[in-house]
């Protein structure tokens, strides 16, 4: 199901923002991935990231990671997961420009989605980003709200949470996985 996304207009002038848990890798709702040994890519994600790398100018991961502040893992553990994840993505021909993460516990934190701090940090680091030429892909309504607050197109991945019914003010399209999104892009 997709509306309002013109796939043909997406080119290197566009930016892709991706949530991590439940989008790139398996997630058990309510628990945390605290070490690399527990991280498992969804099927087709590495191939999808290769496709996205050919279409988008920049790809960023924006992820809430309050497990660090809950002391379920250290920030070094999180960075190890991200380092190994990026290594596998690059080995398969994909690329991610940067990972922005928020470890804050408070939902009021400016960096915690649906607040826009991580995207604004990306814009400071990469001033050429235009949010009106950006796509946010996530698996929660907070991801959708995050994208819409900045004027992005949004895609909900219905991996482990119920998808919103379209039409929805914050969601432009619903797909089962990143792999399905990448298939739509290459048609």
Clarify whether 168 is annotated catalytic: no
In which element (H, E) is residue 16 found?
Answer: strand 15-18
d(CA 20, CA 41): 10
CB 97 within 8 A of CB 118: no
Clarify whether 21 is annotated catalytic: yes
d(CA 75, CA 48): 28
In which element (H, E) is residue 144 found?
Answer: helix 141-149
In angstroms and rounded to an integer, the radius of gyration of the C-alpha atoms of the chain is 15
CB 118 within 8 A of CB 102: yes
**Token pair of 31 as six digits:** 């628990």
**Residues annotated as catalytic (active site), given as ranges:** 19, 21
């Amino acid at each position: 199901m997709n509306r309002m996304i013109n796939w043909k207009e997406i080119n290197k002038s566009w930016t892709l923002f991706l949530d991590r848990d439940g989008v790139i890798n398996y997630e058990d709702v309510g628990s945390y991935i605290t070490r690399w040994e527990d991280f498992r890519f969804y099927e087709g994600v590495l191939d999808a990231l290769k496709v996205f790398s050919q279409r988008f100018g920049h790809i960023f991961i924006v992820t809430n990671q309050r497990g660090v502040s809950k002391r379920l893992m250290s920030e070094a553990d999180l960075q190890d997961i991200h380092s190994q994840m990026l290594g596998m993505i690059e080995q398969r021909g994909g690329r991610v420009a940067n990972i922005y993460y928020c470890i804050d516990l408070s939902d009021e934190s400016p960096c915690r989605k649906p607040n826009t701090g991580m995207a604004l940090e990306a814009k400071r680091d990469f001033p050429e980003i235009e949010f009106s030429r950006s796509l946010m892909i996530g698996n929660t309504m907070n991801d959708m709200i995050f994208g819409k607050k900045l004027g992005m197109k949004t895609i909900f991945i219905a991996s482990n949470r119920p998808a919103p019914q379209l039409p929805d003010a914050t969601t432009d399209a619903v797909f089962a996985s990143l792999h399905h999104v990448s298939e739509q892009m290459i048609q």
